[in-house]
Structure formats: C-alpha cells, structure tokens
Amino acid sequence: MNDKGNSRRISFSNTALMPKEEHLETRVRNRRISIGIPSDDKDEEKRVALTPESVNLLVESDNEVYVQRGAGLGANYTDKDYAENGAIITDSAARVYSADAVIKVAPFSEKEAEYLKGGQVVLSYLNVLKLKEETLDRLIKKKVTAIAFEKIRDDNGVMPVVESMSEICGVTSLLVASEYLSNMHGGKGVMLGGVTGVTPTEVVILGANTAGEYAARAAIGLGSTVKIFDSSLHRLRKFQNNLGQRLQTSVFHAQVLKKALKSADVLIGAIELEDLRPWYYITEDMIRNMKKGSVVIDLSIDRGGCIETTECRELNDPVYEKHGVIHFSAWNLPSRVARTASIALSNIFTPLLQSMADAGGITHLLKNDYGVRNGAYLYNGLLTNDTLGQKFGMLSKDLDLLLTAF
C-alpha cells in the first residue's frame, strides 16, 4: 500500500511539473522583441544609442536587433562589429523603422516618422525647441509611444542621460574653449590654464550642477582660475565640497557678474532651464564688455540658452563671432566625442530595453517604472507632455490616468 501510494505521489508530482515547464517556455517567447537602430545624419549626430557589445547582450537575451548600414560609423563602430555581435545589418530603412522598438539619438524628423509602421515604441532625444508640429502630428498619427532621452529618471530620481551627457559636456566644453583660444582657429593665442610667470586664464561658470562641476574640474586641472555662479547657496556649498577645495563662488548678482566677465577668458553657461521661456542670465551688453577673443559656450542651448547672444546650432556649424567674442553653441556637444558618449548611452538603454522585453511590452513597463514613465511624451498616439501641449496649443492627457485603463 505504501509503495503504491508513493508511486501515485511520484506520478502526480511529475505531471504537475509539466504545465510549469510549458509556462516557462511561453515567458521566454514573450520576452523577445525586435529593436531597430537607424542611421542618423553623420554631419549632425555621430552618436549611436547602442554599441555592438550592448547589441550582443540583447541578442543573447533572445531579442532581435536590426541595424541600418552605417549607423555606428560616426562613433567608429563598423557594420562588421555589429554583425559579429548578432545584429542583422540592412540597407532598408523601412525594415529598421518597423521594429517593435526604434531607438536613435537625434530627434525624429517628419520623414523618419513616416517610415514607422505604427503602434511601436520610439526612443530618442526630444529637443522641444527644435521639434516641428508636423513631426509631432506624424508621430501621433502613427499611434506610437514615444520616450524622450532627456526626461527619463532612474530609481534615485536622477536623469541618467542628462547626467552622463552633462559630465561629457563639462569636460568637452573646456577642450573646445582651449581650441578657440589658440591660434589654430583664429583665437588670440592664449593657452587655457597657466604656466609659471604667466597670469592664468579665467573661467566663469554659470550653474553649480554636473556640467558645471566637470567643467570646473577640467579648468582647475589645467591651472585656470575658476569663478562659479548659481542661484542657490546650497548648491554652491555642495559644489565646493565635491571639488574638495575653496573656489570663488557667488549667487547671481548683476554687478558681480559684470566685473567677473570683464576679465574672463572663457564663459561656460551650464544652467538647467526648466521651461521654454527666455531666461538670460547673461545679457548682450555683458557680452559686449568681455575681452576681444574670449570664448563663450552655452551648454543649455537645447533648452533656449542662458546667454542672450547664443544661437542653437548644429555640430557641423557651431561657431560664430559676436561683439568680438567667439561663440560655440552646438546643442549636441557630446557628439564631438561620439564613442565615449555612445558607450555612456548604451549603459543606460541596454537594461531599459531588456526590462521592456521582460515586462512584455511598454505598457507594463510604464505602469511599474516611474522613471521611464516620466520620459513618455506620447502614449499610443496620445500627447502626455504639458510642455509640448503649451508649445503647439494641444491638449495633453494624464499618462497615469491613461495607464489605469490598460
């Protein structure tokens, strides 16, 4: 009796395992998504959102990755690099843009939006200032769910794309300033920094944030005198603590700013602007009183800029002169160091895309991940971003309410 009872129990146990195995296989199949990486215009944007190594991780997790031929060349990644890591290389833009998730760095154009099959997830920079209503209308008609790089937050409430690109911007801005102070680009022939017996160059930085911090680190490392301005005493104190040394700091005060700018060789604008209205901390009159041949770089130009004389320009034509002062104002400065920037972006988007696959789609991910939800400006073709609604006079929906219906 006992043996028969044991036999029955063993038989029941084996049978009970079978549905679990089938359920597990179903979950693996559901996890598979296709990802498209289009090729951006290399004159304007050289970064790529996913490196070959990231593609390998996604393919190993049973996803499909389509790469448009030449997509990584701006960051010196060849088609062979991607193919060897499991990507499918194609000349067909339509095939890449028909993937479940399409990810690119530069904002979508109207033509690129037309390639989309519809009902997909698209991820890119939004760049509210440059977005055209026709492009937004096209994305809405395609009923896509669109995620803006610069609005995504992590578990700590930090915007990882903004932070990583700000680090790159801060350091790169000083390298650019050094170039345009030198004779090589028609500058006044001054070395950024200082040497024995020569007065060091002066760098003024607006904004005690990540970009400002890394710009200051680069400037101090080269031997420059650094002056930091911010509206918050708390941020200025934190800034000094992070750098581990005393700096010349000040809250924004017109007279103090004017005095600092008169002797400045470099001005870095790193203010984090929250809306689209003009908010110039530096007026044209202040620029007019700067030394001839000094260099101005506005890192907040993609949000309208914090310096009155700066213009939002592409990376292939970022420099102009005004009142004898050299201005550099490309909205995508990290593209100058495209490989470093691409790796930084890949570190963020590889786990995000895999989380989307694991969640079974974007809706489940948005429900459970506030950080990604914060970056959504379209959901199934419905506008969910107040800033875009104000810009184009459109009614935006509450994404939290929309998600409750699914």
Pairing relationship of beta strands 376-379 and 121-124 according to DSSP bridges: unpaired
- 3 state DSSP class of 14: helix
Cα-flanking dihedrals φ and ψ of residue 292, to 5°?
A: -65, 135
Radius of gyration, CA atoms only, the chain: 25
Q: What is the pLDDT of residue 28?
A: 40
Mean pLDDT, rounded, for 97-111 = 96
Cα-flanking dihedrals φ and ψ of residue 48, to 5°?
A: -130, 145
The DSSP secondary structure of 9-31, one letter per residue, reads: HHHHHHHHHHHHHHHHHHHHHHH
Contact 374, 152 (CB under 8 A): yes
Percent of the chain at pLDDT > 90 equals 76
Q: What is the pLDDT of residue 43?
A: 72
Rounded to whole angstroms, the Cα distance separating 71 from 220 reads: 37
Is the model's pLDDT at 37 over the cut of 70?
yes
pTM of the predicted model as reported, rounded to 2 decimal places:
0.87
Q: What is the pLDDT of residue 228?
A: 96
All domains in the chain, ordered by first residue: 22-158+337-403 (3.40.50.720), 163-331 (3.40.50.720)
Q: What is the pLDDT of residue 30?
A: 47
Residues 6+ apart with CB under 8 A from 264: 202, 203, 204, 227, 290, 291, 294
Residues found in the chain: 406
Q: Which of 22-26, 29-33, 392-396 has the lowest mean pLDDT?
A: 22-26
Which pair of structure tokens corresponds to residue 386? 């107040």
Rounded to whole angstroms, the Cα distance separating 325 from 13 reads: 80
Q: Find the Cα–Cα–Cα–Cα dihedral 109, 112, 117, 118, rounded to 10°.
A: -10
Mean pLDDT, rounded, for 377-385 = 96
Mean pLDDT, rounded, for 164-176 = 96
Q: At 403, is the pLDDT very low, low, confident or very high (cuts 50, 70, 90)?
A: confident
Is the model's pLDDT at 184 over the cut of 90?
no
Residues 6+ apart with CB under 8 A from 294: 264, 265, 266, 267, 325, 326
Amino acid (1-letter code) at residue 297: I
Contact 218, 175 (CB under 8 A): yes
Rounded to whole angstroms, the Cα distance separating 127 from 148 reads: 8
- Mean of pLDDT over the chain: 89
Please give the sequence-ordered ranges of beta strands (E in DSSP) within 279-318, or none if there are none. 295-298
Reported as a single tens digit per residue, the pLDDT across 269-288 is: 999 876 666 678 999 999 99
Query: How far does CA 188 lie from the centroid of its chain?
Result: 33
Between the alpha carbon of residue 300 and those of residues 67, 261, 277, the distances in Å are: 31, 19, 13
Q: What is the pLDDT of residue 278?
A: 60
Between the alpha carbon of residue 157 and those of residues 148, 153, 239, 371, the distances in Å are: 16, 5, 19, 7
Is the model's pLDDT at 224 over the cut of 70?
yes
Label residues 171-193 b or e (16+ Cβ within 10 Å = b): bbbbebbbbbbeeeeebeebebb
Rounded to whole angstroms, the Cα distance separating 207 from 227 reads: 10
Which residues are paired to 326 by β-bridges? 295, 321
Is the model's pLDDT at 175 over the cut of 80?
yes
Q: What is the pLDDT of residue 275?
A: 60
Is the model's pLDDT at 299 over the cut of 80?
yes
Q: Which of 270-284, 323-337, 360-374 has the lowest mean pLDDT?
A: 270-284
Contact 321, 345 (CB under 8 A): no
Q: At 17, is the pLDDT very low, low, confident or very high (cuts 50, 70, 90)?
A: very low
Reported as a single tens digit per residue, the pLDDT across 340-360 is: 999 999 999 999 999 999 998
Rounded to whole angstroms, the Cα distance separating 228 from 296 reads: 15
Is the model's pLDDT at 12 over the cut of 50?
no
